[in-house]
Amino acid sequence: MRFIILAVVGLGTIIVDQLTKIHIMQTMRLHESIPIIQNFFSLTYIRNPGAAFGILASSGTLFRLVFFGVMSLFALGLLLTIFLRLPQEDWLGQLFISGILGGAVGNLLDRLRFGEVIDFLDFYIDAYHWPAFNVADAAISVGVCFLVVHFAFEKKEPDSALQQDHS
């Protein structure tokens, strides 16, 4: 069951992410902005060579390629390890990690193809903008938030060694 969750959620996230980015690239000019909800939300086509919030955007191309490549591979390995170590019955944890994995792969594909990430979801209030992001970023952010809450409230089985000491 766990690999069905991974395939559906992870691949679904990658497909939706890549299709939305392709649509934006084909229908909008770079830096074009289309207001959807006045003074709150626009579709704005930008390319982010850096990490979240443009961190490392001004670094050299080779440095970014190596840094983000190594970090992405490390993150994917870590996420897969966590995914495989989750109990079979922890379908919520599997769901959240699958979304995070799908988002990470979606942005990695952009970096490999373009050397930067395509962003287009632009939320703001008047002149105060949240940095633009994409479907992959949303999947990662939502997945991490829900995963933290999930692990924080997860019921732990008492350790059998501790129970024997107190018997």
Q: How far apart are CA 134 and CA 136, in angstroms?
A: 5
Rounded-to-integer distance, Cα 158 and Cα 49, Å: 47
* 17 given a catalytic annotation: no
Contact, 12 vs 102, CB < 8 A? yes
- 54: which DSSP letter? G
Residue 71 vs residues 65, 85, 90, 122: alpha-carbon distances, Å: 10, 21, 27, 26
123 beta partners: 41
Decide if 119 is catalytic.
Answer: yes
Active-site pick, 17, 110, 119, 122: 119
Catalytic residue among 17, 110, 122, 137: 137
Active site residues: 119, 137
